[in-house]
Amino acid sequence: MATAILGTAYPTAPMRLLITGAAGMLAHDVTDAARAAGHEPVALSRAELDITDRAAVRNAVDSASAECVINCAAFTDVDGCESREDEAHAVNGTGAGSLAAAAAAAGAWTLHVSSDYVFDGTKSRPYVETDPVRPMSAYGRSKLAGESAVAEAAPGRHTIVRSSWLFGAHGRSFPATILRLAGERDQLTVVDDQVGCPTFTGHLGRALIELAERCPAGIVHVAGAGQCSWFEFAREIVRVSGRDCDVVPGKTADLARPAPRPAYSVLGTERPADAPRLAPWQEGLAEFMTLQVAS
């Protein structure tokens, strides 16, 4: 049994893994990666396990008999969080904490997924794990609350993985939206004043399984290699698709979205021995495009 992320292989015995938020974009690929690595995933959608229901969480964790609980469940509507901050905290904060508490009580490791939105985006060099956090949005505050709740509920028994700008085949994603719009319009305006690391969930899913096998404690940053603006990302999506559509740069302020976004969201790591290295985002996009053609 082995998984490989840019050449690193970790042989491991089959594990039982409980995966929450199983109908979501990342959870789909985590579940597939778990099966491909020979593990036994128990993947529960929100309808099967609502992580805000403490008793249900305890029951599900106990009956899964998992060695690792991977929390992909989250309230991910960044703008919606601004007007529904209590709900966001219940899922992303308290829910994450009660899952970690149940995992710790059952002797399981917690692998929790967090976000670049815990940072304020004012840096101009990649954010590393120990950089000060200062979320600008309700979503970011709720994700930070989740990190604290997990750390408190399962001290020394958790990995928190911060990632950014996810895109995958099983959910609403930026590349899918750009492909659709580029088929409908001659010109698209996309902001060039937010810079980050697009991360293909096929790659991140495999990295999360590798982390579940190794269980490094604490926070690790894992994102697609390289960086770009949304404008550059969109231009590359249109280019590789062969669509005939102009992509022109715009500004975030012109969109007037409810939630502020970090201007600079590039994630780096100061834990190179622990953080799996992902392929460049362009390779993730190429894999994503292959899946679009196949579907």
13 to 52: interface string for ligand NAP, x by CB under 6 A: -------xx-xxxx-------------------x--xxxx
Those residues whose C-beta lies under 8 Å from the C-beta of residue 180, and which sit 6 or more positions away, are: none
> Residue 171, interface with ligand NAP (CB under 6 A)?
yes
Q: Between residues 83 and 187, which has the closer beta carbon with respect to ligand NAP?
A: 83
Q: Between residues 96 and 179, which has the closer beta carbon with respect to ligand NAP?
A: 96
CB atoms near residue 125 (< 10 Å): 9
CB atoms near residue 138 (< 10 Å): 26
Q: Between residues 133 and 245, which has the closer beta carbon with respect to ligand NAP?
A: 133
**Torsion 8-287-285-164 (CA) sign:** negative
Specify whether the CB–CB gap between 103 and 227 falls below 8 A. no
| Residues taking part in catalysis | 139
CB of 96 to ligand NAP, least distance (A): 8
Q: Minimal CB distance to ligand NAP: which residue?
A: 24
Cα–Cα separations (whole angstroms), residue 237 to 31, 120, 247: 26, 27, 10
CB of 88 to ligand NAP, least distance (A): 9
CB of 186 to ligand NAP, least distance (A): 28
Q: Between residues 52 and 229, which has the closer beta carbon with respect to ligand NAP?
A: 52
Specify whether the CB–CB gap between 166 and 173 falls below 8 A. yes
Which residues in the 62-91 window bind ligand NAP by CB under 6 A?
72-76, 91
Alpha helices (runs of H) in the chain, residue ranges in sequence order = 25-36, 54-64, 78-83, 85-88, 96-105, 138-153, 174-184, 201-214, 230-241, 281-294
Q: Between residues 213 and 233, which has the closer beta carbon with respect to ligand NAP?
A: 233
226 to 265: interface string for ligand NAP, x by CB under 6 A: ----------------------------------------
Q: Between residues 44 and 245, which has the closer beta carbon with respect to ligand NAP?
A: 44
Tally of residues, the chain: 295
Strand-pairing partners, residue 44, are 20
Which residues in the 112-141 window bind ligand NAP by CB under 6 A?
113, 115-116
Work out which of 119, 165, 264, 281 binds ligand NAP, going by CB under 6 A.
165
Specify whether the CB–CB gap between 168 and 201 falls below 8 A. yes
Cα–Cα separations (whole angstroms), residue 113 to 161, 177, 202, 208: 5, 24, 15, 9
CA 164 from chain center: how many Å? Answer: 6
Near ligand NAP by CB under 6 A, which window of 60-68, 110-118, 179-187, 232-240?
Answer: 110-118
Footprint of ligand NAP (CB under 6 A): 20-21, 23-26, 46, 49-52, 72-76, 91, 95, 113, 115-116, 143, 163-166, 171
